[in-house]
Structure 1
């Protein structure tokens, strides 16, 4: 999940195994959103090429299908240069879609009216209202999808509507991975993880997160724009509107970040088998185990 050392590990592996990094975080694709997304800095990157960072203006939405298309192109180009593609990020739907060839269109893509109807309903009511429809039709899917993940909820309702089958039964994907991939997950003790997240938020505010969020706020983008809904940004909008205090916004950001980390872990543990889990925060010798694993995979 967030704040467990993915960036440092990816740079180390890329340097050691002649790799290039592909961003797999749904917010790091946006240009200008750097501090709140914990985007790798030039210094941290140590000269390792990074793909799919800063590729989209904040006004534009970027979907899992866009990511799948762009990440595939990046993978092909990295492989063509004889290098190792390393996808790094915690956006479960992006990673899963890339690996398991999930179809984000299908029948529904040819019948956009139902989606438009759901989106209009979302506009009129709220995310919870749409999620409750899913809960009524497919409780198992509703359990796996967070109510605020409206895109995914709408996607599930579309699949149910057009296929007549439960979304959770189909899992919306093929079972065989599209790539021969080695999956590495990082985790640590919950208390330690939450403490790291809290400290990271304080560090971000010291680095200028509030100013970065204010620049986004001042763009006056529509409420549904993806970039404005990102954790690290939306929490400050109430502060800028004078609805909450600075301290309340900070606390809300910490809480949302902790919840997000929990959801990320649930996603990867429940939906993606075959991940090798390590704890680099508490066990530095896990680094050697990871390198042994990579070497065996590449052999």
Structure 2
């Protein structure tokens, strides 16, 4: 046994000894990371080591079915430790972030009271933020499934841009923060206005003030929360994700999608619903990418054109998955490490680039970090520093409309970047507005 290994054994021994004498102080463990980075593997290791339970924070894994495309823990893996918030809803049901938050907060409290380690794992940003920070305004219909809320004159059927104009007249401050195409959030703001008779922007301001938060959100909900960020070199992760898509295909991805698509279409035809890839589990990566192929008749799928559509779907799935992984990585950097104006839990980076060194780079450090918090001793590992990244987009950034390019941009960061872009300048020249005119 080398010197480092001896040191680690001693550390765990004394930390455990102190734990026994001082009593347990369990933290809330949140595992973050891009898809394919190894979050599920680490969650199982931690739950098994510390007698904890896994809580899913994935807006697609919460639905029943589509186990392959949503990359759920397998049935055998779920036997290693109790799992929650996985396979909870039927595909046609909905779950708001408020509903998710309320259910999981209760679950976390129950686990902590039973002296069981809660291990939250997933990559759905707004689920994670709703748990960690005291944000979100409760609405009267928060506990109702498939209810459109309280909007007059069937406003739910109005185009997004029309709804945005309506919000602008009622709550201009909130309208400035939302993209005109973000129909879900626009409707949410309007619902709050009609239900509570108060602007959502005002409620957010009151909430942040009450909870001691910042312009980025309310204060931390759990003082003993820790974040384990399973991070992987991007080039390595891209290759890993491409390989994972290929493995999914070998493991029956197409049969899963075709079967699910057939069942849903039968239900859709009976109820007269239109195909909508913006709701529920149908938002999952994989449906839109294979839409053309899935709509083909069985004999058409075997034709050269059918195989062409299949290959295009595969390549689209790989591209979208890589893009999503990068988005998840940016989110951690921006929301956890790039803002000094908000309270953030300590974030510890674990390098999963080299899978042959998983135990050395991920498992052992994670065990040490969690053990130190349980025992109340200083951790030998240092969390990542929080630094101001400048104008990072956030929920309070205002929208800007470029009349020349007819595009909307959220936040000063995007807006200034657009104004400096060659595409914008070419558009101005084409319109004859001259050099230096913004819009």
**Conserved? CA contact 2:37–2:237, under 8 Å:** yes
Partner of 2:291: 237
Partner of 1:74: 107
TM-score of the superposition, structure 1-length normalised? 0.81
Aligned mates of 2:243, 2:186 — CA distance in 1: 32
In the alignment, structure 1 segments of 5+ residues that lack a partner are none
Partner of 1:27: 60
Aligned mates of 1:88, 1:210 — CA distance in 2: 27
**Conserved? CA contact 1:103–1:172, under 8 Å:** no
Partner of 1:162: 199
Aligned mates of 1:115, 1:192 — CA distance in 2: 52
SS in 2 for 1:267: helix
Deviation at 1:106, TM superposition (A): 5.5
Question: How far does the alpha carbon of each residue in 1:42-70 deviate from its partner, in whole angstroms, 9 at most, with x for none?
Answer: 22235211111111000111121121122
**Conserved? CA contact 2:150–2:191, under 8 Å:** no
Partner of 1:293: 369
SS in 2 for 1:21: strand
Aligned mates of 1:56, 1:7 — CA distance in 2: 20
Partner of 1:246: 310
Aligned mates of 1:120, 1:70 — CA distance in 2: 29
Aligned mates of 1:164, 1:74 — CA distance in 2: 29
Partner of 2:328: 264
Question: How far does the alpha carbon of each residue in 1:131-189 deviate from its partner, in whole angstroms, 9 at most, with x for none?
Answer: xx99x9789956xx8x9875346557878992457989975731223452111111111
Deviation at 1:13, TM superposition (A): 0.9
Equivalences for residues 37-76 of structure 1 within 5 A: 37-76=70-109
Partner of 1:210: 254
Change (3 A) 1:215 1:81: same
Equivalences for residues 154-233 of structure 1 within 5 A: 155=188, 162-163=199-200, 173-178=217-222, 180-218=224-262, 219-220=264-265, 221=268, 222=273, 223=276, 224-233=278-287
Deviation at 1:113, TM superposition (A): 2.4
Change (3 A) 1:108 1:77: closer
Deviation at 1:197, TM superposition (A): 1.0
Change (3 A) 1:179 1:210: farther
Cα RMSD of the aligned pairs, angstroms, is 3.5
Aligned mates of 1:42, 1:68 — CA distance in 2: 25
TM-score of the superposition, structure 2-length normalised? 0.57
Change (3 A) 1:247 1:139: farther
**Conserved? CA contact 2:62–2:87, under 8 Å:** yes
Question: How far does the alpha carbon of each residue in 1:227-253 deviate from its partner, in whole angstroms, 9 at most, with x for none?
Answer: 111112332222112487000111111
**Conserved? CA contact 1:60–1:225, under 8 Å:** no
Aligned mates of 1:254, 1:201 — CA distance in 2: 7
Aligned mates of 1:154, 1:187 — CA distance in 2: 35
